[in-house]
Amino acid sequence: MATTTATITLSSADLTNDTLALTQTTNLNKAGTVTGLDQTTGVGRITRGSTADYTLLSSANYGDAKAHKVYLKNTSSTATEYITLKVNTQEIGRLYAGDWAFMPWNGGPTADVIVTNSVATNMTLEYALIYEA
């Protein structure tokens, strides 16, 4: 059984009237169990020079109703460049230069993870999927 732990820390001295200091940690487990997720795509990168939608993760390749986890990072250093993240046709948000996301993904039958560059020049997206078979 694999054990993968995810931790996120949010901190700011001046976002609110009080210092913001949030930290959460969890083990990444298979749906409805305490058994760790044991499959991964590994960390990969894709460089694209197109503004067309691109299916990064096809739901047909992964089981549905699962506890998959997706990591994405826009490696650009140009502040105005962003990558739009969608699950099928639902826009989730934009990853601007240096932004990253870590999100659950159930891999449902119509839940492709789609990314779109804001510009037609080469942009690189770093990604990984940690999933259950």
Q: Which CATH number fits domain 39-131: 3.10.270.10, 2.30.40.10, 2.60.120.10, 2.40.50.840?
A: 2.60.120.10
42: left (phi over 0), alpha (psi -120 to 50) or beta: left
List Cα–Cα distances, 21 to 5, 7, 13, 15, in angstroms.
20, 13, 9, 11
pLDDT single digits (tens) 65-112? 899 999 999 999 999 999 999 999 999 999 999 999 999 999 888 899
* Whether this model's pTM surpasses 0.85: yes
Confidence at residue 110, expressed as pLDDT on a 0 to 100 scale: 84
Both structure tokens of 7: 């931790």
